[in-house]
Amino acid sequence: MDERTTATGERIHLARSEAERGSKGPFVIAYADPEGTESWGYFCAVCESTETAMDTMGRIKCGRCANVKKPDEWDAAHE
């Protein structure tokens, strides 16, 4: 896994094979440990930022480049 240090000095590990598709580009799933057992959150691969947050609607949003991933249900429920 790729290793990154966050703005707050945390070391995270990126699972490049577990990316989620966002509006601008992928969000890569990040883990707190190199074995990938403790999930940390999402890493925005568009602007290489860890400033991501999930809102109450389940959307993942990057606070730097406004990359957004809509919840999976949006695709499934769309008729």
Which residues of the chain form contacts with Zn ion (CB under 5 A)? Answer: 44, 46-47, 49, 62, 64-65, 67
State the sign of the Cα–Cα–Cα–Cα dihedral 46, 51, 52, 55.
negative
One-letter amino acid at 4 equals R
CA distance 18 to 60: 15
Q: Minimum Å distance from CB 33 to Zn ion?
A: 24
| Residue closer to Zn ion (CB basis): 14 or 49 | 49
Residue with Cβ nearer Zn ion (34 or 54): 54
Amino acid letter, 78: H
In the complex with Zn ion, the residue whose CB is nearer, 15 or 46, is 46
